[in-house]
Every structure is written in C-alpha cells, then in structure tokens.
Structure 1
Amino acid sequence: MAAPYNHRAIEAKWRTNWEKKPVNVNDGKKPKYYCLDMFPYPSGNGLHVGHWRGYVISDVWSRYKMLQGYYLIHPMGWDAFGLPAENYAIKMGVHPAVSTAANIKNIKRQINDIAAIYDWDMEVNTTDPEFYKWTQWIFVKMFKEGLAYEKEFPINWCPSCKTGLANEEVVNGCCERCGTSVTKKNLRQWMLRITKYADRLLSDLDKLDWPEKVKKMQTDWIGKSYGAEVDFPVEGREEKITVYTTRPDTLHGATFMVLAPEHALAKSLATDETREAVEKYIFDASMKSNVDRLQDKEKTGVFTGTYAINPLNGEKLPIWLSDYVLADYGTGAIMCVPAHDDRDFEFAKKFDIPIIQVIAKDGKEIQNMTEAYTEASGTMINSGEWNGMESSVLKKEAPHIIEKLGIGRKTVNYKLRDWVFSRQRYWGEPIPIVHCPKCGAVPVPEDQLPLRLPEVESYQPTGTGESPLAAIDEWVNTTCPCCGAPAKRETNTMPQWAGSSWYFLRYVDSKNNKELVSKEKADKYLPVDMYIGGVEHAVLHLLYSRFYTKFLYDIGAIDFDEPFVKLFNQGMITGKNGIKMSKSKGNVISPDDLVNDYGCDSLRMYELFVGPPELDAEWDDRGIDGVSRFLKRFWTLALDSIEKDIPATKEMEKTRHKMVYDITSRLEAFSLNTVVSGFMEYTNKLIAIAKQNDGAVDKETIETVTILLAPFVPHIAEEIWEKLGHEDSIFHAQWPAHDEELMKDDEIEVPVQINGKTKAVISIPAEISKEDAIAEGKKAVADKISGNIIKEIYVPKKIINIVVKK
C-alpha cells in the first residue's frame, strides 16, 4: 500500500534539491524562451491569493516551455520607486528606502513559496543606482533627441499625493493611486514627446499577438482622426484662431466658436465689458478636472465680446469660452455647428445662438429643430455652392477644397497627449538636468551617471509644486557641465513608470556597467516572448513600454521595436460577491496558511481551477480541498502502479495518448482551468482501468501523466519521477507526444433508431462494415420492429436508422 502523501516533507525536499541543482541551465544549445511577469510594487501588505494567480500562470507556462526543450528566461524584480512605495512609507512613518527593503524581503519569501522557477541572478530593483543609471541615461538620450522638454501649463494635480499626474493616471476624475478627486494646477513640467510616435504605436499593434481588448484600448487612447484645420480671422485683430474639425463639410453651419478657458487667447479676447466675467470663468474652470468638465451636465460658458469671421462665407461668429472644450485636444478651439452636434445644440439653445441646418435627410430641412441631426450622411443644404452634395462625399473632399482656398489644411489629429513626466515627490529617479542661467537646461554628462538620489530627513511632499529635493541646497547648487558657471539641479523626480518602461531589457544583462544591454545578449535573448499581467496597465505601462522600446530601437540600442510578442491578461481573484481584495475591506486571503495546510502544489493547482484564467473569479477556500484530494488519489495510483509494474493494455495505451492530446490542446489554448479538470477526468478513468488490472496501470502511463502534471505541481511530480527510478529532474524530460493511431477507439457506441427515434444504443467495432452494423442494430431492436422494413441506413460511426412502414 502506498505511503501517505506528505506535502510538507516532499516540498521541503525538492526546494533544497532545486537550490543545489538548478533545473534551468543554459547549455548554449537550446533555443531561448522569455516568459515575464509584470514585476510587483513592493507593497507592505505582501501577497494575497489574487497575486499568486498571475505568478502561477506564468510559472506553469514557463515550465511547459522547459519541457519542450527551451532555455528559459524567467526573471523577477521590483518596481520600487514612485507613489505606491512612498505613500506606504509615509503611512508607516518610515523612510521609503527602509520600508521598501523590508517589503521586498517579505514578498520575496512569499514568491519563493510559489515554487516559481525565477532566476534570481537576473533580479533588478528600480531604486538601485546601478539600475536607474540607465533610466537616467535613456532620459538624457531623449533630451538630446528633442523628445524630453519643459513646459508650463495646467496639469492634473492630486491634492492628496501632492504631485502632478499624467492623463493616463487619472481614472474617472480621480487619482489612480489613492482615489482622490483630481484638480488642475499650473506648473513647470518635464514632458516626453510620445505623440511623435503616435502613428507607429497605432499601426504596429497589428504586429502583436495581444488580446483584442487591449489593442482596442490603446487604439482608442491614441485616438487617430482625419479632418482639417481651419483658420478663423478675429474681427478687428491680426490673430487667427485655428480649429480642428473632423467635419469640415459642415463649415457653413458654424454659428459660434468656443475656446477652452486655458486657450492662449482666452483672456486677451475679453472686452472691457466682459473682462471680469471672463477672468472669473477661467479661474473656476481651472479648479475642475477634465472628467468633471466632460460629464453630461448643463453646459456653462461666457461670451468674450469678440467675434471671429467664418472664412468660407464671411459670417460673424461670437467667440465663447466653455469648459466642455479641453485645451489638450486638437487646438483647444472648436467651430460649433449646433444643428449637427448634441453638445453644441444644447449650448446654442441655452445661450440663444442661431442654429443653421446644413445636412438634411433627402434634402428636406427640419423646421424648429428640437434636437441635433446627427446622422452620418445626408444632402447638403444652406451651404452655398456645396448644396445638393452628399455629405459623406463632401466630408472627404472638403479638406482639399479648404486647402486650395488657403483657409486651412487637411490634417490628422490624435487624442494622445505628450506624457507629463515629472513628479513633485522625493522617491523617484532624479531627473539628470542642470539649469544654467547662461546655457539653459543642460543634461548631466553620461559619464557622471547615475545622479544619485540624496538622503534626506524629511521626504514628505510639500504641496507647493516643489519637490522636497528643492530644500537640499548642497545638492541643488552645482556647476554647469557646459560653461562651469553656478547652476542648479532639476529638483523634480521621474514617475514610477520610468523604470518599468524598460526593465525587461535589463534582466538579461543586469550586471553590465558599460551599457544598458549588450548587443550580444539583446540579440540572443530579447524581446519578451510571453508577458503576463493585469489589463489595468493597458494604457499606462504597456503603452509607455512600447514607446521606450521604439525610441531605443531608433537610437540603435536594440534591434527590435516591440517589447512583448505575446500578452496574456489574467483576471482578478476577488473576495465574496466579486469584491476586490483589499486590506481596508478585510477580505484579503493570505496564501501562507493555505501553503502550510495543503501545500504549494495544491494551492497552485486550485489557483488555476477557479475559472478561466482571463476572467475574474471569486475565491472559495472549500475548493482547495477537492484539488488536494485529487493529488492524493493520483499519488496513490502512481505508487501502487510503480510497485506492481504491470504491462500496458490497449485501453491504458489509448487513454494515455488521448490524455496527452487533450491536455496539450487545452494548455496551448491557455484554457488552464480545463487542463486541471482534464487531469481529474483522466485520472478517474485510469483509476477505473486500474481496478480491472490488479489496482495498477503501466509505468509508461504514470511517467506520461507525471510529466503532464509537472508544470502545475512540480514537487509531487519530481517525487513520483524519482520513485519511477529517474536520477535526473523531471524538467529535463521531454513533453510527451500523442500518436493518433493509438488514440483510435476499437469500439464505438452508436444509437439505433426506428423511424428516426432512438430505441437503443449499441457498441460495435469502429471499422465495422455497413452490412454488419445494420445487422447488429436490427438484432438490438428486433422486439421493437413492427411492420415492413423499407430502408436501412448506417452513417459510419454516427447512427443506425431502420425505416419501417406499418
């Protein structure tokens, strides 16, 4: 009788063995496979069972690739700079360097409990000066290429985190990190010109084996549109106001203009009579977030007292300010065609502005419009020489007409804005720029990098718009690298995304102090073949990483321009009723006790069994019992079979090959929950076969099933493999292949029908002749046939039908 399965002893034994004899060794002969997890923030709360899911998925896939003969690149590191780490340190009343180090130690212990096959020799930490030296190097290169620049303008401001935020870090008007409502603040900022890469970021999505959902999110975020810029002269002034429109065909229907309150001309357009109201409106708008301004609520606005001239027909258009127009989209000014835009219609109705219909269904004008006519096409009316044209045709031709008339130009526009890159916080990479009164902004020379983050006693954010670094005179005051004159260092720091936008490159050459990554190792090991992480990073980390990779490709640092060939987004593990796990909600489930009670292997397998890996799943502790029982059943079957060492039967051989085919197909489809259920189904079949064969199956079947199980439950697989007599690790074995001939059934079950109604189900040889099949079928339903048989039908391997006429 098999010895009981002791998960504690077996898992401890194999952890020690793997440390002494690593199973993933680069012999220089195997092809590489780079499987990467999104590296974690070292949070003080440690890992819960939800975090385990992504790590287990990537480890299963990695071990599967090892068994297919690949040398595996599967590193781990720490995204330790930025708001999450600093906010936690403030909460705990310690320095972020101290809390980050402690958190990393704890999470590393928890990650090791997963038994993931991480290569800790490749470990990186974004707060390590030898790492952020290269983060700063990339910034310097971007500065020299004109991609990093300074600009003062209203940015998203989190009053709680006391720092500026990129548009991508604002979710429904709130700070992505802390949930506080975001306001606007006018600040000097460092920007990265990601917009220069907008077209490539969009078109190259077609290259990627990524979920369509993520590709659509990036497509929508980049927001490419085609239209025209039109120049509207300002009455009585030399300035012109340029607007961007995707509907230049409606130019005759423009009856007013609206500028964003932040528009450069907003204040100067005010007349003496309107100046006070205009300035008050501009101030009030500055206190609102973009999300608040775009919400579907009553429109507000103020008339500047000044008019623009429609360049097509010479009509005067009143110029208004309204906060439903944003400064950072298009030109920050719009021509308003209330007859054909819901927002413009609402605004015109409220402020009694004329409404002129220029597109009509069948050319018939609507009298006393009660809503905007927003159909995509129609016939042009009230449009001068454009009357009678189809609007869908004119929409394409109008930009060319406008260009010929010299009143504008056809253009392409993007929703994507340049990246607000600086943060008014302490815990981040110092921006390697020196401000010189004579030379302006000068990069720190590359041979002087890293520019180290100075130690400070007080690192809390000031809220003034200045970083805490600004108070360290001995660090701020320096000399200009160009002219040697007294100068001051840049005191803003980089955002948490700076290191994570390129870290995946550094893993493969993490000890190199001469270059970011050597050409030899980049060519050999990059890019990432499989990237696994949450969909919440679709327009943050994943977009930024693509931008950085394309830039590094352009300057010749690497020879590929997309970082991640394949992407998989795992769903969340939630608490009861689908509520996200969090310490504040008291629904966090730590894996530590589950590992102790059931073992790492049971928890790994249950993490995958809870549901399709791409969907959210609700955690239920009771489910792990079933997985644990399954492993014990297979353990008993394996040890009994090893002891009895019986020869294979045809049924064992057929089941083995069917299992290899089925498990491999499900695994390749990333249907990991059905892989686990498949293990259970086939193990039950093998146990049933064993009952008819002295309680055992043949050793080859046990070997095959054990290899199939190995990526999922590595400890128990290694133990059974050793008991099968193997001295080397199971992960040096080969993933089994199936033989279709051996999968074929000798007998099949087919229904026997009389006049199309099933009367019996019989077993017949798979390759039986038509005559013999019909004979067997008639025999099975002989007592049910009444009348004359007029037709006999056999659809091979499907059905027997006896047609009877009474």
Structure 2
Amino acid sequence: MPDSYNPLEIENKWQKSWDSDGVFQVHEDREKPKYYLLEMFPYPSGKIHMGHVRNYTIGDVVARYKRMRGFNVLHPMGWDAFGMPAENAAIQNNTHPAAWTYENIDSMRKQLKRLGFSYDWDRELATCTPEYYRWEQWLFIRMFEKGMVYRKESFVNFCDPCQTVLANEQVEDGACWRCGREVRQKKLWQWYFRITDYAQDLLDYCDKLPGWPEKVTTMQKNWIGKSTGARIRFGIEGREEGIDVFTTRPDTICGASFVCLAPEHPLVTGLAKGSSQTSEVEVFLAKMARQERTAKAIETAEKEGVFTGAYAINPVSGGRVPIYAGNFVLMEYGTGAVMGVPAHDQRDFDFAARYCLPRPVVVQPAGEKLDEATMQEAWTGPGTLVNSEEFSGMDNVVAQTAIADWLQAKNAGEKAERFRLRDWGISRQRYWGTPIPMIHCDTCGIVSVPEKDLPVRLPEDAGLLENGGSPLGSLASFYEVICPKCGENARRDTDTMDTFVESSWYFLRYCSPKEEAAIFDREAVAYWMPVDQYIGGVEHAVMHLLYSRYFTRVLEAEGLVDFKEPFTNLLTQGMVCKETTTCKEHGFLYPEEVDFSKDTPTCTKCGNPVAIGRVEKMSKSKRNVVDPTILLDRYGADTTRLFCLFAAPPERDLEWSDTGVEGSFRFLNRVWRLALRYQDAARNVLAYNGELAALSEGDRDVFRKTHQTIKKVAEDVDRFHFNTAISAVMELVNAVFAAGEKGEDIQNAGVARHLIESICLMLSPVVPHFTQEIWTSLGGEGALPEKAWPQWREDALQEDSILVVVQVNGKLRDRVTLPADADEESIKAAALATEGAVRFMEGKEVKKVIVVKGKLVNIVVG
C-alpha cells in the first residue's frame, strides 16, 4: 500500500476493473433468493446534484450489502427522458430535444459511474427510445380495445408557455409545475385512462402496504378521497331536466337554500340564456376560465359565484331555491353540482353570507337552540332534525339513511359513493413524448394503429415551432396516413403521452430490457418482481407512485403479471439542505463565491460581507448547492458517499457540513494508517478464528470488539441505520488506536488480519474503492463486492468482565467491575462493599437491594 491515500487514482482503477470483469451484471438464478433494489430513475438534466448522490448512495449500500448476504441482486439504472423540460431547455439552448437529451444522458452516466454505483449497466434504458415506447403504445392499444382508454372533450388545465395540458397533480398554486407560469382552463379533446375503475382497490391496498411510510399512504388515501352519501335529483323550475347533486349529508336536505353548479357545468349557459343574468354569467365564466380549477386551489380561494336566473325544486320539501354557478364546485368531483346548506356547512355559510341567502337550521344540537339570525358559523356536528318534514325529531345520523331510502323510493335519488380521484388525462400537445398510436378516419372514426406498424416513431429530425409548440400537427409526413380499416386517407393523432406514463412501468422493463417480442419477459418479471426496496422522494407520493400502482393493476387485468402492488417496501429519503449566502450587491451566492477564510465571510466578487441565511433545501434559485464534481475532484467518491450516509439517517433531511466532509475524509485516512500499521504482519496469513482463551488479553479484546461490531453493523444496515453502523466501525478503529497508544499493539497476526478484513467487508458497501484497495494490498483475492458478509461468533461477543453501576436510593454513588459470570449474591456483596455505597449508607438501615444483573445495583436505605 502507498503511504498516503489517493482516492482519485484508486477509484478510477477499481471502477475499470469491476466494469471489465462484469462484476455487477446479474441474471435470474433460482438457486438464490432474489432482491430487487431500485431508485427512481433520473430525468437527464445533464448534471447530477447532491440529492441524486444521496439517493443513489443509499440504494447502492443496500444493494451491495444484500449481495454480500447471499441475495441475487437486481440494481438497474435508466433515464426518464421524455417530457417538457427537454423541450424548454432545447428552446433556451437553441438545440434539439433529442440531441440535448442524449448528450445529457452521456454526461450523467459518466458522473454516476464515477461514484462507483453497482448498477448493471447492461440493463440501462431510456424512455425516449423506440425500443421502449413501442411497448407503451402496444399497451395503450390493448387498453383502448378493453375500454380502459377513452377520448372526450373537456375543460383542462392549459399552460400557454409550455403549450400543453397539465394534470391536476401538475398544477401548483395555479401555476405550471415546470415553468411556473399561470395555468388557464381550456376545452380540448383529450385521451383519458380509466384510473377511477380501480379507485376502491387502490384505496383498499393502501392498508396492505406495511413497508411504506404512513405519510405516503395517507397522501394517497386523501388523493383518492372516498366519500359516502347520496345522489339527489333537484328539479328545475319550468324545465323537464333536473340537476343531480352529490352530498355526504342527505340529512340536511331541507336546509338547502341554493344549488350551485361548477362554472364548466353544461347547464350553466342554458339556464342563464334569455334571462337578465346572461351578461353577468358570461363575465363570471370568462373570469373562471383564467383561474386554476383544482381541488387544492378552490380550498383556499375566496368563495364567489353568480345567480343563473333559474330556480331548483327541493325533492323533499318542495321548496324553490336559486341556482348559482360558483368557483368552489368542481365539475370533476361528484356531479359538478352541490346543494348549499349554509347552516351546516362552513363553505356554504360563507357563500350565503356574501350573497344574502337564507341559512335555515335543520339540525339542532343537544341542549342548544340555533337561530340562523344570530349564528356566526355553521353547525356541522350531530343533533336532532327540525324543519325537515316527516323526518323532524329524528337523530341526524339515522336520518341520513332514512332520507336516502325515501329518495330512492320516490325515484329522486339513491345512496352513492364518490371519489376525489379523477380519470387520468394523458394527452399532451407537446413534441417530445410518446406518440399516441391512434388514427382518426372520417369513415371509420378512431382506429388503433395495427400492431405490425408499431412503434409509431417520433420524428427526431422535426424542428420545434417558434413558439415552442409541437411540429407534429403541421408535419404532413407524420400525420398523413392511410386508414388501416378502409384504406382511405386519414390523420394520425398528434398528441403525445404524459411523461408519467413512461415512469409507470419502467421497473418492469428492467427485468428484460432487451426483450424484442413482448413488453417484457414474463418469466423474468415473475422472478424479479415485485421490487423489494424502492427509494425515491416523497414529492412523488401521488403522481408517480399512484400511477405505478394503477399500471400494475392494468397489467394484472391483462394477465401479464400476477401481482397488484409493484413496490413491497418504500423509502422516501430526506432532502439535502444547506444555509444560503447572500451579498447585498450580487444576491444569492454559490458556496465557491464566498471567502470563508476570514472571521466575517465575504463575497469573492466585490469583497462585501456576506449574510449567512437559514438552512434550506439545496436549489439553484437559492444557489445553496454543492457541485458533486467539486467534491469528487477534491475528496473522491468514497468520502462523498461516506458523508452522505453518516451525516443523517436516510429518511431525515441532511444538513450540509463542510467540516463533516473533512471529518469523513480524515476517518478514511485513519483506517488507511491502521491498515498500513499491520499490513506486513497481516499479509498472506489466515484470519484468526480460534479460541479466545488462547489469545493475550489485549488481542482478545480486539477480537471480541471486532465481532461485536460485525453484529452491530449488520443489524443497523438491515434497519437502514447507516449512520450508526458507520459510527460502530469508527468506534472499533478508535479502540484499536487507543490500545496502540498505550503500547498494547496487536500481537497475533491472525487477529490483525481478522480486524482489517472485517473492517474492509463492513465498510465495503459504503466506501467500495477504498476497501477494495486495502483488501487487495493484504493479499485478498477477487472483487470485494462478491465476498460474503463477515459472520460473528456468539461466544466471541461475550465480555470477560462487566461494569456495574452502584446507586443508593436511585442516585449514582459508585461503579464496580466484576466477572461477567458473577451471580446475584456476588454482585450484591461487591456493591455493598464499594466506598461510595458505604459512605452514603452510614448510619442508615438497608431496607432493600435491587440487582439488575449485568447493569446496576440500587441500595434502598432509610
């Protein structure tokens, strides 16, 4: 071994060696238990960030550890390569999305390889390749033929700068999740997946995912959002048609003082037509078209609406109530209409107050008498029905069923369930995505592309339009086709699929990425799936994870898989955070733009003092980011990996610390020096595995401590407690150095060999290049990742002596060292004889002696 640790030289050497030897290539092996470890694949932005480094390091440790524990480990990597960001970046950089994407993939692949991750690169895939999206198109057609896909005209979230539709999940505070610009409502023909067909099943299985964080399953439950209640039909005065409303409180129907429709409801314009409200309604609808219309948005928006000029008839009381259009009603939820019960719903209370509508009380709480004239807020609790026709005097909970039954008998309603979850709109009016494999024929209607003609290739030589719009609609070579049914001229669909479609099944393709005859090899999927451990950010709790669960159910319904849930265990890692640095003249600064060498940090651009802000998630906008390349150049991959794992448990946020990185580097140098100290003695000898009694006391202590550490590290890694596992190895190393400083160096070469080998094996998943170099220098053969995890011996865990704490009346008074096998009477006698105990017992009667064997003795005196 060289006298000094040179990470760059070592890491490059071993990465080449592992790659040339195919160490991480994996195949189905039914003689071994399988373990599928997957981190969510990245979007190829061109540069990895510290979030990537942390996420993939966590996964790599688990993959390497499981391999050492005898599992056949699948650990793949690929690229979520389609989507709007590539187009936006291409426009900004005056390049083509394809060129931009493939260049970025090459760049990021090199960066990931430099970190030494144990990926089977032979399984690499990119979702923008025809070999991948061909099967996505194939499945789309299968779903269309089974009625799982449909097309309809509807109002959608539309982003003008991005020139595309957004799913509700992709709208954040009224703005596009990618470009941040305001989203408006637009009526378009769209393709939809019937995810609502699986709403109940997806909800039920949220409670059958014990390996998932509760916060994630709770988020999914809330998004699916099941409600139980009744569908009630209100008549419309002077018209034959009616309005269906959904309510969870049918018991309050006699308290309805208005009916409110979603602005997009097809009845709104018809009800207002010819009335004095026509112009007001038109103005209101135009305003609503410019506002975000998602469930999240309407929860916080001020309630407003407009009277349509028409009236509805209450089916129970026969009362006449005005019909409004209101911004707090969603067309997508329930029926797009609600009955307003101001006295018993706070949202309705606020709306009624604004428009001076009645607030009749129909549920009186026990011991109170509500008066609508004096009520300051709605009463939403239990009570007895009043002013409710034949149901007055009935408990309101009982009345919910009674009224629903009455409505059903009168053909005016029925018991019903509704879900917040809406069908998944997957059409995007963008270029860089999977073409939708459908053809529009004037004679035959909508026809699917024949399977023999798949894939429908995205023309990668097409240039984007000046406004960033998709060229597909104006590219005759793409859209002009012959109808496969009648042979007449037809038009290819020019929409592309939402990028989340690609990420909803990629984990299955990894099982057989080169399969050409099918979407995947079913035997390979049966062997590898489901994923045993999935690692990804909590920000994907709804979109990606819910869609992946849905897609797996679709594949099960098609008979392609025999399971419903794709991910058995889920880890949502915390964010990487760092304090911000700000200069008055230059604003936020990158860390390298700050001179920290002075007592007061200064800006390297102007020399002015720099303000240190709060710790926040690393982001380019705040410039509080650390470039992994700088770390790799200075410290190497292993130090970077070690710090990411040691600084915080994986599920917690990691606060960046430059001193912490330095500390990680110092620790590796300390281990290096330890290996140097014993390399001559330990090289080419067998690791000691004999009796403890045959060793000197010092060597016996090292041997015992080594076995205790092996057990501790294995238990911690099994629980993903990587920081405490690393800490245990640090403690072992420190103990050996401390003994050496006392002149108690290891005497037995086999014990030294056992120590260094064990440290290498335990740290191998964390710092693989570093440990491989030491292992080889000691004469170890082969690739360390292929070696078995070290085994601990139960007899070697036992201490010769124990330290017993002595308390008097519960307070610490002394300590005593005793043989580990001392019986209770011996422990009690030794404790009573300690100087501290004798002093505090003087002149007092010993009433009781409590012995907790192996830990403490408490002497109770009075």
User: Does residue 127 of the first structure (1) align with residue 125 of the second (2)?
Assistant: no
Deviation at 1:772, TM superposition (A): 2.5
Matched, 1:492 2:511: no
- Aligned match for 2:398, one of 393, 396, 400: 393
Higher mean alpha-carbon deviation, 770-779 vs 257-266, is at 770-779
Post-superposition offset of 1:567: 1.1
Distance 2:378 2:528 in 1: 56
Task: Give 1:164 shift.
Answer: 0.7
Aligned residue in 1 for 2:156? 155
Contact 2:157–2:183 under 8 Å retained in 1: yes
Paired position in structure 1 for 2:601: none
> Post-superposition shift, 1:129?
0.8
* Residue aligning to 1:582: 619
Matched residue SS, 2:78: coil
For 1:37, give the aligned amino acid.
E
CA distance in 2, matches of 1:625, 1:695: 29
CA distance in 1, matches of 2:859, 2:288: 82
Partner of residue 411, structure 1: 416
Question: Is 2:842 the partner of 1:786?
Answer: yes
**Rounded Cα–Cα distance in structure 1 between residues aligned with 2:106 and 2:776:** 33
1:397–1:112 CA distance, 2 compared to 1 (3 A): farther
Distance 1:785 1:386 in 2: 78
Say which SS state the counterpart of residue 675 (structure 1) adopts: helix
Among 308, 323, 326, the alignment partner of 1:304 is 308
> After superposition, where does 1:695-734 map in structure 2 within 5 Å?
698-734=752-788
Q: How many aligned residue pairs are there?
A: 802
The reply on whether 1:634 has 2:671 as its aligned counterpart is yes
CA contact (8 A) 1:161 1:461 kept: no
Q: How does 1:203-222 map to 2 (within 5 A)?
A: 203-208=204-209, 209-222=211-224
Comparing 672-681 with 694-703, greater Cα deviation is found at: 694-703
What letter is aligned with 1:139?
F
Q: How far apart, CA to CA, are the structure 2 residues paired with 1:707 and 1:462? A: 57
**Equivalents in 2 of 1:231, 1:457: separation in Å?**
52
Deviation digits for residues 255-293 of structure 1, max 9, x if unmatched? 110111110111111142222222222222111112586
Task: Write the distance in 2 (CA, Å) between the matches of 1:686 and 1:374.
Answer: 70
Residues of 2 paired with 1:298 and 1:40: CA distance?
Answer: 39
Separation in 2 of the partners of 1:277 and 1:193? Answer: 36
Q: What is residue 620 of structure 1 aligned with on the other side?
A: 657
Q: Determine if the alignment matches structure 1 residue 369 to structure 2 residue 369.
A: no
TM-score normalised by structure 2 residue count: 0.90
Shift in Å, 1:517: 0.7
Q: Does 1:232 align with 2:234?
A: yes
Corresponding residue to 1:242 among 241, 244, 252? 244
TM-score scaled to structure 1, two decimals?
Answer: 0.96
Residue 735 of structure 2 corresponds to residue 676 of structure 1: no
Residue matched to 1:7: 7
Shift of 1:93: 0.8
Matched, 1:334 2:338: yes
Change (3 A) 1:418 1:747: same
Q: List per-residue Cα deviations over 1:129-161 (Å, max 9, x = no partner).
A: 111101111111111111221111111011221
Q: Give 1:53-452 correspondences, 5 Å limit.
A: 53-208=54-209, 209-270=211-272, 271-290=274-293, 294-362=298-366, 364-367=368-371, 368-452=373-457
Q: Among residues 523, 530, 535, which one is paired with 2:526 in the alignment?
A: 523
**In the TM superposition, what whole-angstrom CA distance separates every residue of 1:85-126 from its partner, at most 9, and x where no partner exists?**
111111111001111111111101100111001111111111
Change (3 A) 1:757 1:120: closer
Cα deviation, residue 599, structure 1: 1.5
**Alignment partners' CA distance in 2, 1:754 and 1:222:** 59
| CA drift at 1:746 | 2.4
Q: Deviations over 1:557-592 (max 9, x none)?
A: 222222111111111212313333333433332111
Counterparts in 2 of 1:398 and 1:662: CA distance versus 1, 3 Å: farther
SS at 1:317 equivalent = strand
Of 750-759 and 123-132, more deviation after overlay is shown by 750-759
Unaligned runs of 5+ in 2: 580-613, 689-694
Aligned to 2:713: 663
Q: For structure 1, which segment, 559-568 or 784-793, has the greater mean C-alpha deviation from structure 2 after superposition?
A: 784-793
Q: How far apart, CA to CA, are the structure 2 residues paired with 1:81 and 1:215?
A: 28
State how far apart, in whole Å, the 2-side matches of 1:150 and 1:288 are: 24
Secondary structure of the residue aligned to 1:574 is: strand
Q: Which position in structure 1 is the counterpart of 2:546?
A: 543
Question: Does the C-alpha gap of structure 1 residues 10 and 345 become closer, same or farther in structure 2, counting only changes over 3 Å?
Answer: same
1:574 touches 1:619 (CA, 8 Å); kept in 2? yes
CA contact (8 A) 1:431 1:494 kept: yes
Deviations 1:171-225 (A, max 9, x none): 2222111221211111111111111111111112223221111111111011011
The aligned counterpart of 1:800 is: 857
Alpha carbons of structure 1 residues 750 and 408: separation in structure 2 relative to 1, 3 Å:
same
Identity %: 44
Asked if structure 2 preserves the Cα contact closer than 8 Å seen for 1:158 and 1:165, the reply is yes
Change (3 A) 1:315 1:657: same
Structure 1: gaps of 5 or more residues: none
1:566 has 2:616 as partner = no
Letter in 2 for 1:32: K
The equivalent residue for 1:735 is 789
Relative to structure 1, the CA distance from residue 390 to residue 627 in structure 2 (aligned partners, 3 Å threshold; closer, same or farther) is same
Contact 1:424 1:461 in 2 (8 A): no
Structure 2 contact 643–664 (Cα < 8 Å) conserved: yes
| Aligned mates of 2:767, 2:718 — CA distance in 1 | 18
In structure 2, the CA distance between the partners of 1:15 and 1:482, relative to structure 1 (3 Å rule), is same
User: Structure 2: how far apart are the matches of 1:690 and 1:663?
Assistant: 24
Residue 687 to residue 184, structure 1, CA distance change in 2 (3 Å): same
SS at match of 1:622: helix
Instruction: Give the match for residue 636 of structure 2.
Output: 599
**Is 1:759 aligned to 2:813, yes or no?**
yes
Offset at residue 232 of structure 1 (A): 0.8
Change (3 A) 1:402 1:682: farther
Give, in whole Å, the separation in 2 of the partners of 1:619 and 1:793.
Answer: 50
CA deviations over 1:56-89 (Å, ceiling 9, x no partner): 0111010011001112211111111111111111
- Correspondence for 1:687 among 717, 730, 737: 737
Matched to 2:237, the amino acid is E
Secondary structure class of the residue paired with 2:510: helix
> Quick one: distance in 2 between partners of 1:477 and 1:642?
73
Rounded to whole Å, the distance in 1 between the matches of 2:673 and 2:409 is 84
Letter in 1 for 2:57: V
